[in-house]
Amino acid sequence: MANWTILNHTGKLSHEDLDQRALDALKEFPVEGALAVLKQFLESNLVIFSLNPYIGVMKTYRQKSRAGVVNSGSAPIHTKGPDEDRIREILDRTGYSLDVTTGQRKYGGPPPNWVGDAPGAGCEVIQLVKRYIWDLRLMMDPMSGLNRGYAFITFTNRDEAQEAVNQLNDFEIRKGKKLGVTISFNNHRLFVGNIPKNRDKEELMEEFTKHAPGLCEVIIYSSPDDKKKNRGFCFLEYDSHKAASLAKRRLGTGRIKVWSCDIIVDWADPQDEPDEYTMAKVRVLYCRNLTAQVTEDDLRDCFQEFGTVERVKKIKDYAFIHYEDREQAVQALDKLNGRDLCGAALEISLAKPPSDKKKKEDILRKREQRMMQAMAER
C-alpha cells in the first residue's frame, strides 16, 4: 500500500510500470527517500528508453547517501540527463537501440537487421571509432553522472576491430588530445600471490572453490629445486569474466586468509595470442616442468629421436627445443608430452614467437608496482 501511495505521488509511473525486482528494492526506502529516487529517475529522461536504469538509480542513491552527498530524506544531487531530442534523432536515424543503466550507456547490440550469432572474443575495442559496430558501451560514474573517459566498442568481426586499432590508436581527436585504442581482453584469470609453497593443485582448487563459484582450473608452477613445491603463487581460471570479477572482489578484501597467509590478488596479465598463420610456421617447442638434474644434453638426446635438433636452451625448469623442420617438432610434441624425464612429466607446447620486449617489460613493471602497493596497504 505504501508503494502504491508513492507511485501515485509521482503522477507519471503506475504500479504496472515496475517489475517485482524494482518493487522489492523500493520497500527498503523510507517514503521520503523513495520519492526522491522516483523524482530523480523521471527527471533524468531515462524513462524514454527503458525502465532498466530504475534499479541503478536506487543503487546510486544509496551510494551517495553513504558518502554524505544526500540526506536520507532529501532530494539527491544529480547532473542533468541526456538530451532527449538529440538521442531520439540518433536512434531514429541509425536504427540502433539504447539501453541505459547506472554504470553505462549501451548503444546497439545487435545492430539493425543483424542475422547470426553475437561476435566472439577479440572483437571488442576500447575507445571511440567511426565504423559499423555491433554495440558501443560508454562507461559512466554513478556518483557524478559523468562518463569515465572511456568506452567499449564491439565490432562484428575481429578484422574490423583490428583495423579500428590500426587506424585510430594515437589519433588526435582534438589538439593535444589523442585517442588510446586497443583490443579489449575479457579476462577470466586471476593472479594470486603469497600462497603456501607446500600446497598442490588439488588442495588449492578445494580451498579457492570455497570463496567464489565458477573456478575451472588452478595453474601452478613447480619450484626448480623441489617439484613437490609451488613457487608461492598461482593462477585461478574461471568460467567467465563475471565469475572472475566476483572472486577478485571477495579474495581481495584482505579479510580472507589462505592457510593463515595474507594473499595478494590481481588480474592476470593478458597474453598476446599469435594468429593461426604465425603459429603454423613455428618449429620450436617449449618444454617445462624440468627437474634440476635435467641437462641440455639430456634434452637433446630425448628430442632428437624425432628429427634434427638445431638448438637446445634450458632456463631453470623450462627449455626451448629448436627443430630443423616443423613436422618433426609436431611429432615430438605428440609423442613426448607427458613422458617422464628424470622424475617429472614433461609439459610441452609449441613456443609462441617472442613478443615486443618493451611491452613485456612495461607489463612486468606495472605488476610489480601493483604488488608493492597491495603490500603497503596491508
One domain, residues 54 and 156: no
Query: From the first residue on, what is the mean pLDDT of each consecutive set of 10 residues in the chain (378 residues)?
Result: 44 52 60 66 50 51 55 48 76 80 74 72 53 76 73 82 85 85 82 92 94 92 80 90 90 87 85 74 92 92 94 91 95 94 90 66 63 61
One domain, residues 197 and 302: no
One domain, residues 234 and 367: yes
Complete edge-to-edge strand list for the sheet that includes strand 147-154 = 98-100, 104-108, 135-140, 147-154, 124-126, 182-183
pLDDT at site 244: 92
pLDDT at site 80: 57
Number of domains in the chain: 4
Could you read off the pLDDT of 153-178 as tens digits, one per residue?
Answer: 888 777 888 888 888 888 888 888 88
Q: In the structure grid, which three cell numbers stand for residue 322, read together?
A: 629448436
One domain, residues 60 and 88: no
One domain, residues 96 and 215: no
pLDDT at site 145: 67
Could you read off the pLDDT of 336-367 as tens digits, one per residue?
Answer: 999 999 888 999 999 987 765 556 556 656 66
Are the C-beta atoms of 234 and 204 separated by less than 8 Å? Answer: yes
Instruction: Tell how far CA 341 is from the center of its chain.
Output: 37
One domain, residues 261 and 366: yes
Give the structural domain span for 10.
2-66
The DSSP call for residue 48 is: G
One domain, residues 173 and 193: no
One domain, residues 150 and 263: no
Nearest to residue 107, comparing CAs of 127, 87, 79, 131?
87
Please give the model's pTM, rounded to 2 decimal places. 0.51
The CATH number assigned to the domain holding 257 equals 3.30.70.330
pLDDT at site 73: 46
One domain, residues 257 and 369: yes
One domain, residues 29 and 112: no
pLDDT at site 111: 74
